[in-house]
Structure 1
Amino acid sequence: MTMLERFTRSLLRKEVDKVPVCSVTQTGTTGLMEMTGTSWPKAFTDPEEMAALAMAGYEIAGLEGVRYPFSSPDIPQAFGCTYSKGTHDSPPHQLDFPCKNPEDVKNVVIPDNLYESPGVAAMIETTDILRKQIDDKGYELPLIAGILGPASFASCVAGVNNYLMWCVKETDALSELIRLGGEVCAEYANVLYDHGADSVVIIDSESGPDLFPPPLFEPMFLPAYQKMTRTMKGLNILHMCGDATAILEPIAESGFLGVSLEEKVHMDYASHVVGNEICLIGNVSPADDLLLRSPAEVKAAAKKCIEDGTRILAPGCGIAPYTPLENIKAFVAARDEYYSEQES
């Protein structure tokens, strides 16, 4: 079974020989940058550097997928948000946003030149480069793109403070941003599929309980997610940071094939509640385990995650930039060790 087949079948909740082991969140580390001659912040925006660093996640670290980019300001920038450039060890952070009050929402429209905006154009070019490299080298593994989702879009365009206040005081304005964000993200995802991405990860932690009241998740976000997933033409995944335990059941009804969960969600509980309805992805801690512990401890955490029911073994969120390469390799090796130990 190829890595692409294993990944695809896992998302479709079909039988596989062993769970895939990859990352559906960012994979750039300072070690991989040194080994490939790439660097942040250049690799945030330069398609050649972005592609080289993304490919290193497979070719050097052994992750069974090529995941890009390493930050996601592309869509918000196209709508007027401004960002820092980022540094050698941290992604860009938001500086300003266009919607200062609810009345500004009516001026938010999809730009005619959306796919010519710098960040989006760089993503499309990177997709083309990676697709060609994967095909030319005969790698049968998934090409995984990450983009922001409708909640993240609304939070960026309105600013976090407005986003949180408007969920109670200005629900019409916030709902319109969420609707528009869902439309833009689904359309953008389809463009990336057309250019060769196998899967698109919708990064949308702002809809989760760490920021948004759980009782409002279904009325505010479920319709947007269901419309998105009906429209998206390829394999799709929702990534949710924080403790999403309270909204696992509606997430399973969202139409996403898989959900990537942070380690705050107990995988055994999630597997019991929704494991037959959606592909569970995760959730070894990128900080407590991958960054800080020994290779042996990383292996133990990964094996427990498989035992608890993950269908795709992955970090619970983006890999920290200073994560040791030996720990990422141990994370990958743990999957094979797990199955060898089951046979013995």
Structure 2
Amino acid sequence: MAMTPRERVTAAMNKENLDRPPAAIFTQSATIGQMDATGAAWPEAHKNAEVMAKLAAAQADVFGFECCRTSFCLTAEAERLGCVVDVTKKDAAPMIKSHPFKFDCMEGVYDDPAALMPADEFLKGGRVAEVIKSAAILKKNKGNDYCIVAGTTGPFTLAGHMVSTENLIFGMMMAPEEVDKWTAAITPYCKEYAQALIDNGADIIQMSEPSGSTDMLAPEMFQEAAGRAVTASLGATNGGLGNILHICGDATPSSTRWPPAARP
């Protein structure tokens, strides 16, 4: 007997036997076609839980894929913590325009992450709260048939949003203790957000940590810079079906990559 989409994704997450692999998009899945078909479109779908949930379900409703995935960018947490974000376009993802904290390795000037808002307050407003609400809406409307996936930003990437990723990468070499301070300070926000999403209906958290790729960090730097914080946030959640870490870019050590000339 053929599995339902929810059964298929659940079995895949549990590494159980499948009738076939699930066709489910765990990363950002919205397209202009889905927006036009449903009437739920960016930028409103970034800001309003009802519209967000409708567009999150569109990969299943419009294209027949086998999960629902809420949130469509890596800026909701950053905006809530003080970044200026341009959330105005239907055909382009939100963009961070400014970083609220100073991290200057050349001048030796570093803002204190203690100035961040309390973690419990972080969850109660802005687009972060709307994403949490959207997970609950999806669970109610789609949870019997589909697994609900919620996207979050990894702690090293989010710390970079606070002080600029370029500054944070320079800091790995020039002021590693300051980098550790910022990543450690951001980690509880990532953990509490992921847990709130699970508690409100998300079956799976898909955390994106693009600044942890080998395009940004040497492989030997990953565990210290990002890996420990991922474990302490994404790896410390309870409930759900399990979690997925997604790293954009090349995640393999340089010694194992194909030579450029050999790439297809």
Same fold (TM over 0.5): yes
8 Å CA contact 1:24, 1:201 repeated in 2: yes
Which residue is 2:106 aligned to? none
Report Cα offsets for 1:183-223 as digits up to 9, x if no partner.
21111111111111100111101011111222201222222
Confirm or deny: 8 A CA contact 1:22 1:65 kept in the other structure. yes
Q: Which residue pairs with 2:262 in the alignment? A: none
Mapped to 1, the partners of 2:110 and 2:176 lie a distance apart of: 12
- Give deviations 1:111-152, integer Å, cap 9, x for gaps: 2521222111111111121111114xxx42110000101111
- TM-score, L = length of structure 1: 0.67
Task: Please state whether the residue corresponding to 2:27 is helix, strand or coil.
Answer: coil
Q: CA deviation at 1:166?
A: 0.7
Is 1:169 equivalent to 2:168 in the alignment?
no
User: Is 2:241 the partner of 1:237?
Assistant: no
Q: Distance in 1 between matches of 2:195 and 2:230?
A: 15
2:17 to 5, 15, 18: 15
1:168 alignment partner AA:
M
Question: In the alignment, which residue of structure 2 is the partner of 1:210?
Answer: 215
- 8 Å CA contact 2:157, 2:209 repeated in 1: yes
CA gap of 1:108–1:213, structure 2 versus 1, over 3 A, is farther
Deviation, 1:106, is: 3.8
Residue 151 of structure 1 corresponds to 156
Of 166, 174, 183 in structure 2, the residue corresponding to residue 178 of structure 1 is: 183
CA contact (8 A) 2:157 2:165 kept: no
Residue pair 1:150, 1:177 contacting (<8 A) in 2 also: no
Correspondence 1:228-307 to 2 at 5 A:
228-233=233-238, 234=240, 235-246=242-253
State the AA in 2 paired with 1:5.
E
Residue number in structure 1 paired with 2:133: 125
CA distance in 2, matches of 1:90, 1:159: 21
For 1:259-289, what per-residue CA distance to the aligned partner results, in whole angstroms no more than 9, with x for missing partners?
A: xxxxx99xxxxxxxxxxxxxxxxxxxxxxxx
CA distance in 1, matches of 2:124, 2:40: 24
Residue pairs, 1:189-204, within 5 angstroms: 189-204=194-209
Describe the shift of the 1:199–1:224 C-alpha distance in structure 2 as closer, same or farther (beyond 3 A).
Answer: same
**1:72 matched to 2:74:** yes
The answer to which structure has the higher helix fraction is 1
156 and 18 in structure 1: CA distance in 2 versus 1, 3 angstrom threshold: same
Unaligned runs of 5+ in 1: 250-263, 266-344
Q: Which amino acid aligns with 1:160?
A: T
* TM-score (norm. length: structure 2): 0.87
1:312-327 correspondence to structure 2 within 5 Å:
none
- Tell me which residue corresponds to 1:114: 122
Percentage of pairs with the same residue: 29
User: Which residue is equivalent to 1:261?
Assistant: none
Counterparts in 2 of 1:246 and 1:110: CA distance versus 1, 3 Å: farther
Give 1:77 deviation, angstroms.
1.6
Aligned counterpart, 1:104: 111
Alpha-carbon RMSD: 2.0
Amino acid across the alignment from 1:104: D
Contact 1:148 1:202 survives alignment (8 Å) = yes
User: Do the aligned residues in 1 keep the contact of 2:152 with 2:207 (CA within 8 Å)?
Assistant: yes
8 Å CA contact 2:135–2:197 kept in 1: the answer is yes
- The corresponding residue for 1:279 is none
- Give 1:230 shift: 4.0
The correspondence for 1:32, drawn from 3, 19, 34, is 34
> Amino acid of the residue matched to residue 162 of structure 2?
V
Q: CA deviation at 1:229?
A: 4.2
CA distance in 2, matches of 1:229, 1:30: 30
Alpha-carbon spacing, 1:201–1:59, altered in 2? closer, same or farther (3 Å):
same
- The AA in structure 2 aligned to 1:149 is G
What secondary structure sits across from 2:64 in the alignment? coil
